[in-house]
A and B are shown apart, each in its own frame.
Chain A
Amino acid sequence: MLSNWLYIGIFMVVSLFLPAAAIFIAGLLAPKKPNAIKNATYECGMETVGDSWIQFKAQYYVFALVFLVFDIETVFLFPWAVAYNQMTLFGVLEAIVFILILLGALIYAWRKGALEWH
């Protein structure tokens, strides 16, 4: 098992070289003549107003939180699905209770309008 993770590690390290080499070679070959107008932020020819690092709305945060809750549910379902063939009926029912509680959460979020995009 350990060797398999080693192979994935090797694969990750090797795959790092491709984009790094691409950026490096392009950096050597490409011309570099920057000036202020070229480096201005592109907003369809308009002058940029203010910073773009501004406060964003809380909606994204709610989506990420709902995602987190159901992501953890999915993670629990994976080992449950693997062990499903050896499981007693009681075990299956327990997992169904787990899913139903979280389904309640989904319905709550739905009714409260947290899944609506404004």
Chain B
Amino acid sequence: MDAGMIWEWIIKSIFLILFMTGGFAYVTLLERRVLARMQVRIGPNRVGKFGLLQPIADAVKLIFKEELIPAGADKLMFIVAPVITVIPALIITGVIPWGTSINLFGREIALSIANVNVGVLYIMAVTSISVYGITLAGWSSNNKYAMFGGLRSTAQMISYELALGLSLVGPILLAGSMNVMDIVQAQKTLPFALLQPAGFIVYFMATLAEINRAPFDMPEAEQELTAGYHTEYSSMKFALFFMAEYIKMIAVAMIGSTMFLGGFQGPFVDQLPWLGPVYLFGKVIVWLFVDIWIRATLPRIRYDKLMALGWKVMYPIALLNVFITGILVVLTTKR
């Protein structure tokens, strides 16, 4: 442990954070372009070639907008809420490995922030604290729509978190470890999505609900709640909520690719370690495309049906999946 190590990790953290932020900017563009194509429109194409500078134009616009704080709001909480919404979205990616390690400037650099032995539980824990930013935003605005949006969002997230957690028990059973790196290595021959189809589908649906994406974007149902928990937010603070939502979308795609689709594993990754990030990036892009496709296809689910789906369908299926996986592991391994 020397100062060089600390600097290496600070640079790695900054790099990952900038990558996620840049990713957020271009996922918004991707979403707008893809949605437009699916609805037989063109989408933003004026700013730069293919509209590639559109996210920068949006950012500049949002920076120069006036920030409003509603009269009756709890000021400190109102400012803190967007900050603590963004942080969990960023730090959840800390345990995801991008590859094994590469040689750069004569140093062996591991391609992950941390390799902790409770990686999967870390993901669960960070997911569970991401509820607070939304609850706080809704509560501090002193607006009834925001309040309802925040409460609904919280109730929805905790309902789907159980199914999410149980769907991750399957890969742990198969890999025999909670370390994310071990789980990736166990998928060398076969990704767990093929061995755990039910777990994979439950994970996919639960994360859609967890990040409040369509068809589970109930907290932001504009017909009944104006804009949900961020009704009163404007300018940069609104941008931060927007950013948290898209960074979470990228993060769950990264986690899902790592747990179920083999992460950075792919052909020739042992010989050329820098291919690892490329494979992971490709899987994440496909995942994000499917997310956007679903948004273009499915209508929003009614709130009571949404809660019923979480508790009465997804949770029992996830539990059953753990049972069946356990039995199959007993039958197939020789003791």
Touch test A–B (CB under 8 Å): yes
A residues bordering B, Cβ < 8 Å? Answer: 1, 3-5, 7-8, 10-12, 14-16, 18-20, 22-23, 25-27, 29-34, 36, 38-44, 48, 51-53, 56, 60, 63-64, 66-67, 70-71, 74-75, 77-78, 81-82, 84-85, 92, 96, 99, 103, 106, 110, 115-117
8 examples of A-B residue contacts, CB within 8 angstroms: A8-B95, A14-B17, A42-B231, A44-B226, A52-B146, A77-B166, A115-B311, A116-B308
From A18, A30, A36, contact of B21 by CB (8 A): A18
In the assembled complex, the Cα of A8 lies from the Cα of B86 at a distance in Å of 16
Chain B residues with a Cβ closer than 8 Å to the other chain, count: 86
CB of B262 closer than 8 Å to a CB of A: no
List of A residues within 8 angstroms of B9 by Cβ: 7, 10-11
Decide if A19 touches B312 in the complex (CB within 8 Å): no
Contact at B240–A43, with CB atoms within 8 Å? no
- Give Cα A20–Cα B90 distance, bound, in whole angstroms: 13
Q: Find out whether the CB atom of B142 lies under 8 angstroms from the CB atom of A51.
A: yes
Distance in angstroms between the alpha carbons of A69 and B229 in the assembled complex: 27
With A77-B169, A81-B169, A85-B333 in contact, do A115 and B14 touch (Cβ < 8 Å)? Answer: no
Question: Which of these, A40, A48, A70, A82, contacts B178 with CB under 8 Å?
Answer: A82
A61 to B289 alpha-carbon distance, docked (Å): 36
In the complex, the answer to whether A67 meets B162 with C-beta atoms within 8 Å is: yes
Task: Report the minimum CB–CB distance from A118 to chain B (whole Å).
Answer: 8
CB contact list, B129-160 vs A, under 8 A: 139, 141-147, 151, 154-155, 158-159
Give every chain A residue within 8 A of B141 (Cβ-Cβ). 41, 52
**Chain A residues closer than 8 Å to B235, beta-carbon distance:** 26, 30
- Please tell me if the beta carbons of B113 and A7 are within 8 angstroms of each other in the complex: yes
**B121 and A78 contacting across the interface, CB-CB below 8 Å:** yes
Q: Is the CB of B143 within 8 A of A52?
A: yes
A117 & B308 in contact (Cβ 8 Å cutoff): yes
